[in-house]
Amino acid sequence: MPLIEIEHLTKDYGHNRGIFDVSFSIEKGEVYGYLGPNGAGKTSTIRHIMGFSRPQKGHSLVNGLNSWEHASEIQKNLGYLPGEIALPESLTGNQFIKMMAELRGITDMTHTKNLIRKFELDPAGSLKRMSLGMKRKLAIVTAFMHDPAVLVLDEPTSGLDPIMQALFIEFIKEEKEKGKTILISSHIFSEIDATCDKISIIKDGRLISSFVADDLRHNEIKTFKIEFKTEESFNRFDREGKAHEKWEALSLTPHKHQALLRIHDNDINAFISFIADYEVKFFSEIKFTLEDYFMKFYDRRNIQAAGGAEPDAVYPNQ
């Protein structure tokens, strides 16, 4: 049974805003990336998972319990990091931590203290005067302090400096090792790429793609850049090598003596044999990233929307 299951979740705020027929599920031990630009519907979805918002259609289940019907139980047990952090400004950081510990029945503060140390949180001052980054760290500590099995993190690294962002990514990997189930929303490709097993991309309130991250990383058709040492070699390749049944030249850059090629894993040996008597300066793979996929996916949808042809596959920008 999935620990988080969303089916046909719909909340129409009018003017084409909201979330529409969103479905995905997260199995125990998975880190799930929820990727989309600002205003795409990430927070709206998460608010339904937490039971803050009632769907018009569809439902969200956490551990088999309906989020709206069992909101207080879900909110008590889940580790939740809100996208926009609203803290009681009259309290100090320490008072807030104490309040959250009492709410969750935590008596042993060892784990909480470790988190405070790890994220270099200074909880002494009043919340009113805390910087955005410090508030974010406080929210991280309180999301993880009861060592929850399921975590829902809404843009967890926004407001953190790059060192803290890297630390947080390492922390998520450690939590994953411990078997935690984690949903992370983000508009930052690299942190989703670094941490997630599965990914859904949301745009304008609708899921436009869901996939296993490794399928993308292990794409069998790869892009390579080759540079020839001499103009003569380049011209010969232009004449004899660019059109071939086993590879495809995506582009040629004559003044650099370079070509960009698309080759299936099975045909790389054939290509290397072919190129052996050419004078080659270098031959390297252009890594396909999640960002390339994300951007190309958007491009493709835009082409379709404009009535153009849809390419048969998605390749990196070059």
Ligand X SMILES: Nc1ncnc2c1ncn2[C@@H]1O[C@H](COP(=O)(O)OP(=O)(O)O)[C@@H](O)[C@H]1O
Q: Nearer Cβ to ligand X, position 96 or 189?
A: 189
Are 9 and 45 spatial neighbours (Cβ–Cβ below 8 Å)? yes
Provide the minimum distance between the beta carbon of 93 and ligand X in the complex, in angstroms, as a whole number.
26
Q: Nearer Cβ to Mg ion, position 18 or 83?
A: 83
Provide the minimum distance between the beta carbon of 35 and ligand X in the complex, in angstroms, as a whole number.
10
CA distances from 78 to 39, 110, 111, 275, 307 (A): 24, 20, 16, 57, 44
Q: Nearer Cβ to Mg ion, position 43 or 195?
A: 43
Stretch that binds Mg ion, among 43-51, 72-80, 188-196, 251-259 (CB under 5 A): 43-51
- Of residues 138, 147, 165, the one with CA closest to residue 79: 147
Binding partner of residue 40 among Mg ion, ligand X, none, CB cut-off 5 to 8 Å per kind: ligand X
CA distances from 106 to 21, 102, 142 (A): 38, 6, 11
Q: Nearer Cβ to ligand X, position 54 or 128?
A: 54
- Of residues 119, 129, 96, the one with CA closest to residue 170: 119
Q: Does 156 bind ligand X (CB under 6 A)?
A: no
Q: How many Å apart are CA 38 and CA 16, to the nearest integer?
A: 15
Q: Looking at 3, 36, 43, 181, which residue binds Mg ion (CB under 5 A)?
A: 43
N-terminal to C-terminal alpha carbon distance within the chain:
42
Provide the minimum distance between the beta carbon of 284 and ligand X in the complex, in angstroms, as a whole number.
36
Pairing status of strand 221-228 against strand 206-212: unpaired
Q: How many Å apart are CA 13 and CA 10, to the nearest integer?
A: 10
Are 199 and 290 spatial neighbours (Cβ–Cβ below 8 Å)? yes
Identity of the residue numbered 245: E
Interface positions, 12-51, toward ligand X (CB under 6 A): 13, 17-18, 36, 38-44
Q: How many Å apart are CA 86 and CA 246, to the nearest integer?
A: 57
Binding partner of residue 36 among ligand X, Mg ion, none, CB cut-off 5 to 8 Å per kind: ligand X
Q: Nearer Cβ to ligand X, position 44 or 63?
A: 44
Q: Nearer Cβ to ligand X, position 43 or 63?
A: 43
Interface positions, 120-139, toward ligand X (CB under 6 A): none
Provide the minimum distance between the beta carbon of 202 and ligand X in the complex, in angstroms, as a whole number.
7
Residue 257's region, left for phi above 0, alpha for psi from -120 to 50, else beta, is left
Q: Nearer Cβ to Mg ion, position 44 or 223?
A: 44
Q: Nearer Cβ to ligand X, position 18 or 29?
A: 18
Task: Tell me the residue ranges of DSSP E strands in the chain.
Answer: 4-14, 17-26, 31-35, 57-62, 65-66, 79-81, 150-154, 181-186, 198-203, 206-212, 221-228, 243-244, 247-253, 258-264, 280-286
Provide the minimum distance between the beta carbon of 42 and Mg ion in the complex, in angstroms, as a whole number.
5
Binding mask 77-116 for ligand X (x = CB under 6 A): ------x---------------------------------
Q: Does 83 bind Mg ion (CB under 5 A)?
A: yes
Provide the minimum distance between the beta carbon of 43 and Mg ion in the complex, in angstroms, as a whole number.
3
Query: Which tokens is 267 given?
Result: 């045909």
Q: Does 133 bind Mg ion (CB under 5 A)?
A: no
Contacts to ligand X by CB under 6 A? 13, 17-18, 36, 38-44, 83
Contacts to Mg ion by CB under 5 A? 42-43, 83
